[in-house]
Amino acid sequence: MPADEQSMVQVHDLGESYDEVLAKFRASLDDTRRHWAAYMLAQYPDRAVLQVVADAARAAVHAKEVQINAVYKGRQVTVASAPAKPRRVIREEDSLCALTAGTGWPLAIDDIAHDPITVHHAARQLWGSWASVPLNIQGYVAGTICVLEEGERSWTQREQKALAVLADQVSAEVEDWIASERSN
Helix axes of 157-183 and 47-61: crossing angle, nearest 10 degrees = 170
Q: What does the pLDDT average to over 87-92?
A: 83
Asked, for residue 32, whether it belongs to a domain, the answer is no
Domain tally, the chain:
1
Asked, for residue 172, whether it belongs to a domain, the answer is yes
Asked, for residue 34, whether it belongs to a domain, the answer is no
Asked, for residue 19, whether it belongs to a domain, the answer is no
**Which of 1-5, 22-26, 129-133 has the weakest average pLDDT?**
1-5
Asked, for residue 66, whether it belongs to a domain, the answer is yes
What letter represents residue 4's amino acid?
D
Asked, for residue 49, whether it belongs to a domain, the answer is yes
Helix axes of 157-183 and 18-43: crossing angle, nearest 10 degrees = 90
CATH number, domain of 96, equals 3.30.450.40
What letter represents residue 79's amino acid?
V
The domain of 149 spans 40-183
Has this prediction a pTM greater than 0.75?
A: yes
User: Tell me: the pLDDT tens digits for 107-142?
Assistant: 998 998 888 888 777 777 788 899 999 999 999 999
CB atoms within 10 A of CB 161: 13
Q: What does the pLDDT average to over 48-57?
A: 96
pLDDT bucket at 9, cuts 50 / 70 / 90: very low
CB atoms within 10 A of CB 132: 30
Asked, for residue 110, whether it belongs to a domain, the answer is yes
